[in-house]
Amino acid sequence: MIIELGHHALVLAFLVALLQGTVPLVGAARRDLALMELGRSAALVQLLALAGAFAALTHAYVTSDFSVLNVAENSHSMKPMLYKVTGVWGNHEGSMLLWVLVLAAFGLAVALRGHGLPAVLKARVLAIQGLLGAGFLGFILLTSNPFLRLDPVPADGRDLNPLLQDPGLAFHPPMLYLGYVGFSVAFSFSVAALIEGRVDPAWARWVRPWTLAAWSALTAGIALGSWWAYYELGWGGWWYWDPVENASFMPWLAGTALLHSAIVVEKRDALKSWTILLAIIAFGFSLMGTFLVRSGVLTSVHAFAVDPDRGLYILVLLAVTIGGALALFAFRAPAMAQGSLFRPISREGGLVANNLLLATATATVCVGTLYPLFLDAATGEKVSVGPPFFHATFVPVMLPAVLLAGIGPMLAWKRADLEGVFTRLRFAALVAGAVALLTWLLQHGHHPGPVIGLALAAWLAASTLIEWTGRVGLFRRRGIVARIIGLPRSAHGMTLAHLGLAVFICGAVGDSFWRREVVVDATPGAVAELAGYRVVLEDIRSGNGPNYEAEVVRLRVERDGEAIGELRPERRFYPVQGTRTTEAAIRSRPLGDLYAAVGEGRTPEHRTLRLWHAPLVPWIWAGALMMVTGGLVSLSDRRLRVGAPRRTPGPVTQPAGGD
Residues 28-67 that bind other proteins (CB under 8 A): none
> Could you tell me if 74 and 160 are in contact, meaning their C-beta atoms sit under 8 angstroms apart?
yes
If one asks whether residue 163 binds other proteins (CB under 8 A), the answer comes out as: yes
Q: How far is CA 487 from CA 34, 383, 464, 481, 637, in A?
A: 42, 52, 15, 10, 10
Single out the residue of 145, 393, 588, 636 in contact with other proteins (rule: CB under 8 A): 393
Rounded distance, CA 248 to CA 172, Å? 12
Alpha-carbon torsion (360, 280, 144, 60), positive or negative: positive
Return the range that interacts with other proteins (CB under 8 A); candidates 26-34, 295-303, 499-507, 616-624: 295-303
Return the range that interacts with other proteins (CB under 8 A); candidates 14-22, 132-140, 331-339, 469-477: 331-339
> Could you tell me if 39 and 192 are in contact, meaning their C-beta atoms sit under 8 angstroms apart?
no
CB of 615 to other proteins, least distance (A): 17
Rg, the chain, Cα only: 27
Residues 583-602 that bind other proteins (CB under 8 A): 597-600, 602
If one asks whether residue 580 binds other proteins (CB under 8 A), the answer comes out as: yes
> Could you tell me if 78 and 165 are in contact, meaning their C-beta atoms sit under 8 angstroms apart?
no
Return the range that interacts with other proteins (CB under 8 A); candidates 115-123, 183-191, 326-334, 556-564: 326-334
Strand partners, 610: 519, 597
Return the range that interacts with other proteins (CB under 8 A); candidates 38-46, 55-63, 76-84, 239-247: 239-247
How many residues make contact with other proteins (CB under 8 A)?
130
Rounded distance, CA 505 to CA 402, Å? 10
If one asks whether residue 200 binds other proteins (CB under 8 A), the answer comes out as: no
Single out the residue of 77, 145, 299, 588 in contact with other proteins (rule: CB under 8 A): 299
How far out from the chain centre does Cα 563 lie?
Answer: 39
Single out the residue of 197, 388, 524, 565 in contact with other proteins (rule: CB under 8 A): 388
> Could you tell me if 440 and 493 are in contact, meaning their C-beta atoms sit under 8 angstroms apart?
no
Q: How far is CA 389 from CA 113, 226, 249, 368, 371, in A?
A: 44, 20, 16, 8, 12
Residues 205-234 that bind other proteins (CB under 8 A): 222, 225-226, 228-229, 233-234
Rounded distance, CA 9 to CA 48, Å? 9
| CB-based burial label for 588 (10 Å; 0-12, 13-18, 19+) | middle
Return the range that interacts with other proteins (CB under 8 A); candidates 15-23, 99-107, 367-375, 534-542: 367-375
If one asks whether residue 623 binds other proteins (CB under 8 A), the answer comes out as: no
Single out the residue of 139, 177, 239, 514 in contact with other proteins (rule: CB under 8 A): 239
> Could you tell me if 293 and 246 are in contact, meaning their C-beta atoms sit under 8 angstroms apart?
no
CB of 640 to other proteins, least distance (A): 14
Residues 499-528 that bind other proteins (CB under 8 A): 519-521
> Could you tell me if 77 and 157 are in contact, meaning their C-beta atoms sit under 8 angstroms apart?
yes
If one asks whether residue 620 binds other proteins (CB under 8 A), the answer comes out as: no
Helices 617-635 + 489-514 axis angle, to 10: 170
Single out the residue of 329, 512, 534, 564 in contact with other proteins (rule: CB under 8 A): 329
CB of 101 to other proteins, least distance (A): 17
CB of 435 to other proteins, least distance (A): 26
CA geometry: angle 176, 393, 612, nearest 5 deg: 65
Query: In this structure, how many other beta carbons lie within 10 angstroms of the beta carbon of residue 346?
Result: 18
If one asks whether residue 171 binds other proteins (CB under 8 A), the answer comes out as: no
Single out the residue of 82, 367, 527, 563 in contact with other proteins (rule: CB under 8 A): 367
Q: How far is CA 19 from CA 29, 132, 453, in A?
A: 15, 12, 53
3-state secondary structure of 527: strand
> Could you tell me if 500 and 625 are in contact, meaning their C-beta atoms sit under 8 angstroms apart?
yes
Helices 172-196 + 324-332 axis angle, to 10: 30
Single out the residue of 17, 57, 385, 585 in contact with other proteins (rule: CB under 8 A): 385
Strand partners, 593: 588, 614
> Could you tell me if 165 and 300 are in contact, meaning their C-beta atoms sit under 8 angstroms apart?
no
Q: Which is nearer to other proteins, 130 or 146 (CB)?
A: 146
Site mask, other proteins, residues 254-283, x = CB under 8 A?
Answer: -------------x--x--x---x--xx--
If one asks whether residue 374 binds other proteins (CB under 8 A), the answer comes out as: yes
If one asks whether residue 80 binds other proteins (CB under 8 A), the answer comes out as: no
If one asks whether residue 483 binds other proteins (CB under 8 A), the answer comes out as: no
If one asks whether residue 477 binds other proteins (CB under 8 A), the answer comes out as: no
If one asks whether residue 322 binds other proteins (CB under 8 A), the answer comes out as: yes
Single out the residue of 44, 297, 552, 576 in contact with other proteins (rule: CB under 8 A): 297
Rounded distance, CA 209 to CA 204, Å? 9
If one asks whether residue 11 binds other proteins (CB under 8 A), the answer comes out as: no
If one asks whether residue 409 binds other proteins (CB under 8 A), the answer comes out as: no
> Could you tell me if 108 and 184 are in contact, meaning their C-beta atoms sit under 8 angstroms apart?
no
If one asks whether residue 544 binds other proteins (CB under 8 A), the answer comes out as: no
Please choose, from the candidates 528, 542, 534, 535, the residue with its C-alpha nearest in 3D space to the C-alpha of residue 570: 542
Please choose, from the candidates 508, 528, 496, the residue with its C-alpha nearest in 3D space to the C-alpha of residue 595: 528
Q: Which is nearer to other proteins, 78 or 370 (CB)?
A: 370
- N-terminal to C-terminal alpha carbon distance within the chain: 54
Rounded distance, CA 584 to CA 236, Å? 9
If one asks whether residue 284 binds other proteins (CB under 8 A), the answer comes out as: yes
CB of 123 to other proteins, least distance (A): 26
Single out the residue of 10, 88, 250, 298 in contact with other proteins (rule: CB under 8 A): 298
Residues 411-470 that bind other proteins (CB under 8 A): 413-414
If one asks whether residue 577 binds other proteins (CB under 8 A), the answer comes out as: yes
Q: Which is nearer to other proteins, 371 or 440 (CB)?
A: 371
Q: Which is nearer to other proteins, 18 or 66 (CB)?
A: 66
CB of 390 to other proteins, least distance (A): 10
Q: Which is nearer to other proteins, 126 or 254 (CB)?
A: 254
Tell me which amino acid residue 495 is: T
If one asks whether residue 182 binds other proteins (CB under 8 A), the answer comes out as: no
If one asks whether residue 139 binds other proteins (CB under 8 A), the answer comes out as: no
